[in-house]
Amino acid sequence: MGLVEVTGLTVGFGELRAVDGLSFRLARGAALALVGESGSGKSTVASALLGLHRGTGAYVGGSVVVAGTDVQEASDDELRRLRGARAAMVFQDPLSSLDPYYAIGDQIAEVYRVHTRASRRAARARAVEVLDRVGIPDAVRRSRSRPHEFSGGMRQRALIAMALACEPDLLIADEPTTALDVTVQAQILDLLHTLREETGMGLLLVTHDVGVAAGSVDEILVMRHGRVVEHGPVATVLGAPAHPYTRELLGAVPRVDAPRVDVSGGKVLGVDVSGAAAAGSASSVGVSGALPLTAKDTPPVAATGEVVLEAVGLRREFGRGKRAFAAVDDVSLTVHRGETLGIVGESGSGKTTLGRMLVGLLEPTAGRISPGGGVRPDVQMVFQDPVSSLNPRRSVGESIADPLRARGERDEGGIRERVRELLERVGLEGAHYDRYPHEFSGGQRQRVGIARALAADPRVIVCDEPVSALDVTTQAQVVALLGELRRELGLALVFVAHDLAVVRQVSDRVAVMRGGRIVEYGPVDEVYESPRNPYTRQLLAAVPALDPAVAAARRATRRAARQQLAAV
Amino acid sequence: MSGFTGFVLRRVVGVLITLLAISVIIYVVFYVTPGNVAQITCGPRCSPAQVQQVADQLRLDDPLYVRYWHFLEGLVAGQDYSTGTAVQHCPAPCLGLSYQSDQQVTQLILTKLPVSLSLVFGSMVIWLILGVGTGVLSAWRRGRLTERVLTGITLVGVATPVFVIGLVLMIVVCGELELLPFPQYVKLTDDPEQWAWNLLLPWLSLALIEAAAFARLTRSSMLETLAEDHIRTFRAYGVGERSVIWRHALRGAFAPVIALNANNVGSAVGGAVLTETLFGLPGIGRELVHAVDVVDLPVVVGMVLVVGFFVVIANALADVLYAVADRRVVLA
């Protein structure tokens, strides 16, 4: 009898079949990843394992047996005894997944007391114990903190601690690291790995990120439209995918360890350097680091193309008096025609603030940008969230026409014609003018956002995390579109992102930011192949590898580094 | 906790500034009314000599800002009013004299305030228990018969005027069933038991209507909280529904309930006119209406200020409670 036995699982919400006849089995102590894009039904499966659909009106068919409990047949009480005690779940967003009003230790203690007859005091002690176990420093004191006083990584550790409290046989992790920075992600994945080694619990990992799965599990199950596409040992599925969809999925994943290449015949990632060169705009981006050390170490990058955007000594402070802090501190950079400058950093590194200053949405506290002066029509922006950055009550055509109207364009026929052109330019149809944002998919909405940025005939487009809200295959298409536009229109792109692999795929030059400063810059391959700055090295080591063997090697390196650090 | 202390201090300063602003506006609006202010203040039956005396005492010859300053002085330090032959001392906080009723405004308010506070705070206890309880129950039993019945009742409650409920209660309880005597105000300090029995019907009729609003608010914010991720977490960890509802979901509904409650308590101190009139309670609301009726300006100014004071204090208190309930508020 396995730990999890799922046979012919079908989950329907009204007309929609989210999961359709899914079967799999997980042995005790084994680890399986459910991998798929959004809407593939992977999270629905995770919820079904704990019977969380009960009472929601969803239709659930087939059989689910977890740790000896038949989830479909079990009474409410039996189900409660399974949840948290024998199978515990770790959720994606650790902030919203914890009650904001209670101390973290109290929340863990509450769960513990539900499943044991422990006294309040014993439960509280258990909470401290598991918090300590997941690496929360000073666990006694920190157990009295509320979730908002924890950092993102610590919150996720706290949720994992809650899961550990009753020593479950199965841990279900639903996108456990999606909301986290890459270095923190590596820590959390390493923690899960160690816990599994020590406790022998089974792991069901739900993720959209093949890289995350590669280093963490023994088996992978690729899902699409609620069905199994491919299921097998991780090395086989990733090394020699049998199904075309798996191949497509893997092909679309940007690799941090590979130089920029055209995947699948230049269709997916059509960002090649030769195009820019052929257009007669061979150029480069020079970035001078804020740290004098790196600035001296690195020879200045020869700038050839026309400078379209230059920032010198940019600084931006938030808050006043004692609470003032500099989100961006002494950053200088130049962007040349036809070039892509990647700006990469973790949350809080100041990359978004920098991007907003470049567009003119934020006034720098110090330093200058040229060409300067308020909002610059020749610098446009593409935003991260294609849903919230479009007005839901206006047609996409109207949204795209905004920059034209702002420029003083009054001829309605001319505006319509131009918008139609722009829509076609970004791969949509001219007839989409009168449609509303909700009628489009995420990728299409991001295309609308790009069309709007193009409307003002900019010379530079600053893209702030333009693909991080998109599925990997859609992401590849949008990245390809941006590259195409750059090549054909001679645009310069500033590509702000946290995803090191995507930045490598699109950029000519890259600037690595940390704490408001640029710690390393240079040609993208140089920075990625031989990083000088220890922080860059740390970032790169934290990126999940697609090859399980490489992932294991990196984990060993990280572990050694930690032990070394602890020994000092 | 320095963040919290600082937060409370900032709120106190805010209260003071707001009160000062209210007093300026009220004072100016009422004393710049068209017509002879001394004549209006003194009342229609005053002799010219009396009117002149009032004009002197109100310092109508001085510019407005001097008069206002004098008014503030009286509030803080008290004031002496000379009638030519005798001197009347009005101790701080002095809100002036009511010439029409021949009383000091502060004294007048002090006799009415306990009645209004008794009514409002007693009623508050009932409306909170009833309203929040109903709200929790209808969120819990969402979509079932219980919820529909409760929603229907609260809808009726919101839509029924207080004088209808109050009248029905009085007719049924006092008239038909003779369970209680017709209400008559008894001071808490005289006889606490009689105080409570006599206020029971006014409490209920005010509370029933307020409770309806609280039930709706509690229900909607509970449903909002119940849809949040952390509720899913506790369900996924086998925590029972009772605990999820009372410990986690209700906690999330606290903040809006506190805010609405502060607002309603504050305004009911001066605004429960209908209830007070219906049950013959000599409270602030009734007196205020009377004072407006006969244009007794010093009384109107004084009472509006006191009512404003309660509204502002109640809201500031709510902010502090809010911060106690949710520490993230302090950071914002």
Strand ranges, E, within A157-303: 170-174, 202-207, 219-224, 227-233, 287-288
Do the Cβ atoms of A18 and A11 come closer than 8 Å?
A: yes
CATH no. for A1-86+170-253: 3.40.50.300
Q: What is the mean pLDDT of residues A361-368?
A: 90
Contact list, A89 vs chain B (CB under 8 Å): 233, 236-237
pLDDT band at A278 (very low <50, low <70, confident <90, very high): very low
Per-residue buried b or exposed e for A324-337, using 16+ beta carbons within 10 Å of the residue's own CB: eebbbbbbbbbbbb
Closest CA to B286 of B209, B202, B211: B202
ipTM above 0.90, yes or no: no
Do the Cβ atoms of B134 and B151 come closer than 8 Å?
A: no
Where exactly are the structural domains of chain A? 1-86+170-253, 96-165, 257-378+462-470+489-531
Is the bond leading into A371 cis (omega within 30 degrees of zero)? yes
State both tokens at A479: 């990245």
Which candidate from B233, B239, B326 shows the least CB-CB separation from A91? B233
- pLDDT of B171 above 80: yes
Q: What's the confidence (pLDDT) of residue B330?
A: 63
Do the Cβ atoms of B247 and B235 come closer than 8 Å?
A: no
Contact list, A99 vs chain B (CB under 8 Å): 230, 233-234, 248, 251
Query: B62: Cβ–Cβ under 8 A, 6 or more apart, which residues?
Result: B70
B104-110 long-range Cβ contacts below 8 angstroms, 24+ apart: B105/B298, B105/B299, B105/B301, B105/B302, B105/B303, B106/B302, B108/B287, B108/B299, B108/B302, B109/B284, B109/B302, B109/B303, B109/B306
pLDDT in tens, A218-257: 999 999 999 999 999 999 999 899 999 999 888 888 888 7
Which helix (H) or strand (E) element contains residue A425? helix A412-425
CA-CA-CA-CA dihedral for A107, A109, A110, A112, to nearest 10: 130
Do the Cβ atoms of B162 and B274 come closer than 8 Å?
A: yes
CA-CA-CA-CA dihedral for A397, A399, A405, A410, to nearest 10: 30
Contact A97 B325 (CB under 8 A): no
pLDDT band at A289 (very low <50, low <70, confident <90, very high): very low
pLDDT in tens, B242-270: 889 988 888 878 888 888 898 888 888 88
- Of residues B157 and B83, the one with the higher pLDDT is B157
In chain B, what percentage of residues exceed pLDDT 90? 14
- pLDDT of A459 above 80: yes
Contact A100 B230 (CB under 8 A): yes
A505-514, B68-77, B136-145: which is most confident: A505-514
pLDDT band at A9 (very low <50, low <70, confident <90, very high): very high
In chain A, what percentage of residues exceed pLDDT 70? 91
Q: What is the mean pLDDT of residues B166-181?
A: 84
- pLDDT of B317 above 70: yes
Q: What's the confidence (pLDDT) of residue A296?
A: 31
- pLDDT of A286 above 50: no
- pLDDT of A173 above 60: yes
Q: What's the confidence (pLDDT) of residue B10?
A: 87
Q: What's the confidence (pLDDT) of residue A291?
A: 30
A389-395 long-range Cβ contacts below 8 angstroms, 24+ apart: A389/A449, A390/A437, A390/A445, A390/A448, A390/A449, A391/A437, A392/A436, A392/A437, A392/A438, A393/A436, A394/A436, A395/A433, A395/A434, A395/A435, A395/A436
pLDDT in tens, A67-117: 989 999 999 999 999 999 999 999 988 888 999 889 999 999 999 999 998
Q: Which domains are assigned to chain B?
A: 2-104 (no CATH), 106-324 (1.10.3720.10)
Q: What's the confidence (pLDDT) of residue A304?
A: 58
* End-to-end alpha carbon distance in chain B: 15
Query: B72: Cβ–Cβ under 8 A, 6 or more apart, which residues?
Result: B23
Is the bond leading into B93 cis (omega within 30 degrees of zero)? yes
pLDDT in tens, A120-137: 999 999 999 999 988 888
Query: Hey, what CATH topology would domain A257-378+462-470+489-531 get?
Result: Rossmann fold (3.40.50)
B233, B243, B247, best to mutate vs chain A, most A CBs in 10 Å: B233
Contact A111 B236 (CB under 8 A): no
Do the Cβ atoms of A502 and A467 come closer than 8 Å?
A: yes
Q: What's the confidence (pLDDT) of residue B78?
A: 83
Do domains A1-86+170-253 and A257-378+462-470+489-531 share one topology? The answer is yes
Q: List residues of B whose CB lies inside 8 A of any A CB.
A: 228-230, 232-240, 243, 247-248, 251-252, 325-328, 331
User: How much is the mean pLDDT over chain A?
Assistant: 85
Which helix (H) or strand (E) element contains residue A273? helix A273-278
State both tokens at A158: 């706290």
Do the Cβ atoms of A291 and A519 come closer than 8 Å?
A: yes
Do the Cβ atoms of A368 and A450 come closer than 8 Å?
A: no
Contact list, B253 vs chain A (CB under 8 Å): none
pLDDT band at A294 (very low <50, low <70, confident <90, very high): very low
- The pTM for the full model equals 0.77
CA-CA-CA-CA dihedral for A222, A223, A229, A235, to nearest 10: 0
A270-279, A380-389, A454-463: which is most confident: A454-463
Q: What's the confidence (pLDDT) of residue A263?
A: 36
CA-CA-CA-CA dihedral for A502, A503, A504, A506, to nearest 10: 90
Give the whole-angstrom CA distance, residue A500 versus residue A485: 22
Per-residue buried b or exposed e for A482-491, using 16+ beta carbons within 10 Å of the residue's own CB: bbbbbbebbb
Instruction: List the beta bridge partners of residue A497.
Output: A344
Instruction: List the beta bridge partners of residue B124.
Output: none
Q: What is the mean pLDDT of residues A168-183?
A: 89
Q: What's the confidence (pLDDT) of residue A375?
A: 55
Q: What's the confidence (pLDDT) of residue A328?
A: 93
**Residue A294 burial (CB count, 10 A):** 19
